[in-house]
Amino acid sequence: MEHPIYQKAEDFIRQYYKENGFNEAACEARLAEICLSIRQSGTYQHTSEELTYGAKLAWRNSNRCIGRLFWNSLSVSDKRDAASEEQVKEALLEHIEYATNGGKIRSAVTIFKPSENTGDPVRIYNHQLIRYAGYRQEDGSVIGDPHSVEMTEFCIQLGWEGKGSPFDILPIVIQIGENEPYLFEIPESYIKEVQITHPENVTFNELGLKWYAVPIISEMKLEIGGIDYPAAPFNGWYMETEIAARNFTDENRYNVLRDTAKAFGLNTQLQSAMWKDRAVIELCTAVMHSFKQAGVSIVDHHTASQQFELFEKKEIEEGRNITGDWTWLIPPVSPASTHIFHKAYDNTWKSPNFFYQASLFEKSETQKNTCPFTGVSK
């Protein structure tokens, strides 16, 4: 059958049966069933086992992820039947609670309905389910996370009022079909955060940094066997450099490198004295120390690289070629101290996978042109 969905379905189904050692006749029977369904309706439905394995493969195929050794232990929650805003909200809160697990983080994905022929799609506006707001000030500076400025302004337009602190948790905004966006706050009891302190330097602690425990990416679409799942939030646990060397350090994020250097008495006038490098290591040390002390799962970049090396070895043993995006796999701190730096990776994107999709903000231009006070279009 020459149907674009069928080709992809066949590739995925054959892989699913083969890797699990299932019977070939059963595979052919399943393919015939899918073929018929696509002929009749233009699409097909995954069984919950196919969905589970497909999501695991999507993780295994995520070229930018250094944490893929654990792909097979992903916990998959099938919420394709969540149809109302209330049901989606409940499923998202359940995900946060399950993944957080009191600090012993569990990798998980929650899959909502696919985009084709199944009624109104579910979409999530947030980049991550838990994320700090960023408030643009009149002078152009930002209080909070500059990465969240657009989302924060959108929430305010919808009637949300943030406290205006550097670490306000954004509400979650979802949309079902053509319904109005639906906004809700995550109850505080669901959110685990870690105060960032340094094991040796109390002056550093005065910076008052903290970060949330679980990164749950919620804006990407999951594609399995030709079927798109536009809402499929997924999480792992943090590698310390993500928080220390990027979220805190990037000049267009929290930008605290100079303050950190000062807390350590480093001379920030002389860049050749490596104050930036020394400060970023202190931030990594503080993040690692704080998460460990709080009993929240985290991995350092050296251990993560070793785990990735083991993943590569296992994949080769299974007769599979591994794909990766070198520019993302190398850690931002001391990259050449890891094996990843010293080799090349094939950056072909296999399917199933998690893909970027058009941002909802572009789609909601009408909302942007609407007066926030009266709701009247300009």
The set of residues, in sequence order, having a beta carbon less than 8 Å from that of 7 and lying 6+ positions away, is 226
- Rounded least distance, CB 140 to ligand ARG, Å: 24
Amino acid residing at 107: S
Give the interface size with ligand ARG as a residue count (CB under 6 A). Answer: 8
Using CB under 6 A as the binding rule, the residues of this chain from 25 to 64 that contact ligand ARG are none
Amino acid residing at 336: A
Using CB under 6 A as the binding rule, the residues of this chain from 225 to 244 that contact ligand ARG are 236-239, 242
Nearer to ligand ARG, 237 or 291 (CB): 237
Cα(332)–Cα(352) distance, integer angstroms: 27
The catalytic position among 30, 68, 123, 131 is 68
- Is residue 344 classed exposed, middle or buried when 0-12, 13-18 and 19+ CB atoms within 10 A define those classes? exposed
When asked if residue 146 is in the footprint of ligand ARG (CB under 6 A), the reply is no
To the query of whether residue 242 is one of the catalytic residues in this protein, the response is yes
- Rounded least distance, CB 211 to ligand ARG, Å: 8
Record the tokens describing residue 87, joined without a space: 């049901």
When asked if residue 215 is in the footprint of ligand ARG (CB under 6 A), the reply is yes
- Rounded least distance, CB 23 to ligand ARG, Å: 36
- Rounded least distance, CB 338 to ligand ARG, Å: 16
Using CB under 6 A as the binding rule, the residues of this chain from 83 to 102 that contact ligand ARG are none
Nearer to ligand ARG, 215 or 225 (CB): 215
- Rounded least distance, CB 237 to ligand ARG, Å: 6
Angle between helix axes 48-60 and 4-19 (nearest 10 degrees) is 90
When asked if residue 296 is in the footprint of ligand ARG (CB under 6 A), the reply is no
- Rounded least distance, CB 128 to ligand ARG, Å: 6
To the query of whether residue 237 is one of the catalytic residues in this protein, the response is yes
Cα(183)–Cα(128) distance, integer angstroms: 14
CB of 14 within 8 A of CB of 354?
A: no
Nearer to ligand ARG, 62 or 197 (CB): 62
When asked if residue 256 is in the footprint of ligand ARG (CB under 6 A), the reply is no
Amino acid residing at 375: G
Nearer to ligand ARG, 242 or 277 (CB): 242
Nearer to ligand ARG, 236 or 324 (CB): 236
- Rounded least distance, CB 236 to ligand ARG, Å: 3
Nearer to ligand ARG, 173 or 243 (CB): 243
CA 19 to chain centre: 26
Cα(72)–Cα(60) distance, integer angstroms: 8
DSSP classification of residue 246: I
The catalytic position among 10, 60, 65, 240 is 65
The catalytic position among 59, 71, 211, 237 is 237
- Which residue from 41, 43, 40 is spatially nearest to 6, judged by alpha carbons? 43
**Residues 158-197 as x/- pattern, contact with ligand ARG by CB under 6 A:** ----------------------------------------
Record the tokens describing residue 140, joined without a space: 């152009």
DSSP classification of residue 346: B
To the query of whether residue 71 is one of the catalytic residues in this protein, the response is no
Nearer to ligand ARG, 58 or 239 (CB): 239
Cα(254)–Cα(247) distance, integer angstroms: 6
Using alpha carbons only, give the angle 200, 201, 206 rounded to the nearest 5 degrees: 140
- Rounded least distance, CB 233 to ligand ARG, Å: 11
CB of 165 within 8 A of CB of 143?
A: yes
- E runs forming strands in 209-257: 210-212, 216-217, 221-224, 227-229, 234-235, 238-239
Nearer to ligand ARG, 96 or 239 (CB): 239
To the query of whether residue 320 is one of the catalytic residues in this protein, the response is no
Amino acid residing at 76: V
Residue showing tokens 């094996």:
339
When asked if residue 247 is in the footprint of ligand ARG (CB under 6 A), the reply is yes
Q: Is 159 left (phi over 0), alpha (psi -120 to 50) or beta?
A: left
Determine the residue with CB nearest ligand ARG.
236
Active centre residues (catalytic) = 65, 68, 237, 242
Binding region for ligand ARG (CB under 6 A): 215, 217, 236-239, 242, 247
